[in-house]
Amino acid sequence: MSTITSNAKPYTHTVFATARHADLYAKFRPILPGVVMDYVLANLRLHYEPHEWDIAIDVGCGGGQSTQVLAKYFKQVYGFDVSAAQIREALDSYHAHNVHFDVSIAESIPRIESNSCQLIIACLSAQWFDLPKFFAETRRVLAPNGIVALIGYTMFEPIDPDRPNDQTLTELMLGLRTDPVIAPYKLPNADAVDKRYRNISFPDYFEYIYKDNILSQIVICAQDIIGFIETWSPYQQMFKKSQSEANYFLKNFEQKLKSILTVDDLSEKRLLCNYRYYVAMGRKKPTT
């Protein structure tokens, strides 16, 4: 697909609607790591041989970072997102010939025939869905024994390799979730993320599978932490209300970060970064 056509309808939120936010997401959000993909695919292999993996779908795909991970495993891969700006970002980036992007809500997936898809993933996006309608739609498009995987991750834990046992950086990041300045901008659906999707109930036509604490470690530039915060939905809500307040909050956080790392230039400092992923999955039970 090279154009943006859609069945998308406006959500009650517009957190990801702007080109600026789409660009930030593409730059600073992590790519789905192999260790998580291996776990999901291991469950799929229990019922399908790899040569039978015809279609995979990434719902709430954003700029397509996770969608492209699927390309080497499936014959056709589709990425859908409600944000036209995010889909433009995905279309403008490199993607394999078997990867297709389009604007769509999660609850009504276009162009995919019933009982034809082996895997649906949603990476840190399920909290935005109307889940009863979403599950009904996944039931339609998934083939028997196909899997829907809702994937998320906790606030990442940066580690200074020069002081690997110092938890100050991690405490700074985890403290963002309870920071009284940004707390008023926290969206109601953040509860599902805080609970690592454990509060999401799958319908009876799915076999429920859950895995927590899948560790992935990457190397980042300390300056990337600032970019990550800019992608965070509470910060985006603050920015929409008051750019000056948001800029002050970010500058204050940046000064704390520099103080902990004892550096003036964050771009010169490399950090280890731990992401802890969780996966809530449902396998579509074959009809009897």
User: pLDDT digit of tens for each residue in the chain (288 aa)?
Assistant: 333 333 444 344 454 455 554 455 555 467 889 999 999 999 999 999 999 999 999 999 988 989 999 999 999 999 999 989 889 988 988 779 999 999 999 999 999 999 999 999 999 899 989 999 999 999 999 999 999 999 998 878 899 999 999 999 999 988 888 899 988 888 777 778 888 999 999 999 999 999 999 999 989 999 999 988 888 888 988 998 999 999 999 999 999 999 999 999 999 999 999 999 999 999 999 974
The predicted pLDDT at position 85 comes to 87
The predicted pLDDT at position 5 comes to 37
The predicted pLDDT at position 56 comes to 98
Looking at domain 19-284, which CATH architecture does it have?
Answer: 3-Layer(aba) Sandwich (3.40)
User: In this structure, are residues 122 and 250 in contact, taking their beta carbons and an 8 Å threshold?
Assistant: no
Full DSSP string of 1-55 = --S--B-----S--TT-SHHHHHHHHHHSPPPPHHHHHHHHHHHHTT--GGG--E
The predicted pLDDT at position 193 comes to 82
The predicted pLDDT at position 29 comes to 65
The predicted pLDDT at position 200 comes to 94
The predicted pLDDT at position 27 comes to 59
The predicted pLDDT at position 10 comes to 39
The predicted pLDDT at position 262 comes to 94
Q: Where exactly are the structural domains of the chain?
A: 19-284
The predicted pLDDT at position 222 comes to 93
CB-based burial of residue 241 (10 Å sphere; 0-12 exposed, 13-18 middle, 19+ buried)? exposed
By residue count, the chain amounts to 288
Pairing of strands 142-153, 55-59: unpaired
The predicted pLDDT at position 82 comes to 93
- Considering only CA atoms, which of 110, 108, 106, 149 is closest in space to residue 129? 106
The predicted pLDDT at position 59 comes to 97
pTM: 0.86
Q: What percent of the chain has pLDDT over 70?
A: 89
CB-based burial of residue 211 (10 Å sphere; 0-12 exposed, 13-18 middle, 19+ buried)? middle
Torsion sign, CA atoms 25, 153, 64, 85: negative
